[in-house]
Amino acid sequence: MAKKAKRRGRPPGAKSPDKMDIGQLRQHIEKLQGMLSKKVSDQRAYLEEKLSELGDFASAKVARVTRALRSRKKGTRRKAAPKYRSRKDPKVVWSGRGVTPVWMRDEMKGTKLKKDDFLIAKS
């Protein structure tokens, strides 16, 4: 059985705005304005709800970050114990952090000495 084709256009009995009198036009306009204001208020409520959810999410995220920042230790590392000592001047030492010191490079230059040769023996 073939389906009946849907009718397009206005339902039967509906008047076109061209054929309405002023009273009917005013009622039609008021009805449309009412529908529009209802849709606007519904949309506003929906968006305000989403905005409050987003605000709650952001405040929770900020709280987590501030807690993480507060829990970090503040201050500096303690001074590193010396690991290397100069062969020429035993008072000169180096912790092994950072760039190789000039005194060590000068002592290694032209010799077969390596960084391991300057290690302080642990007793």
The dihedral over CA atoms of 75, 76, 78, 80, expressed in degrees to the nearest 10, equals: 170
Show me where the domains of the chain are located: 20-71, 84-118
% residues pLDDT > 90 (the chain): 33
- Do residues 85 and 53 touch, judged by C-beta distance below 8 A? no
pLDDT in tens, 9-39: 666 666 666 777 888 888 889 999 999 999 9
Q: Could you tell me how many residues make up the chain?
A: 123
pLDDT per residue as tens digits for the range 88-121: 998 999 999 889 999 999 999 988 888 888 898 8
What pLDDT digit, counting tens, does each position of 64-81 carry? 888 877 776 667 778 889
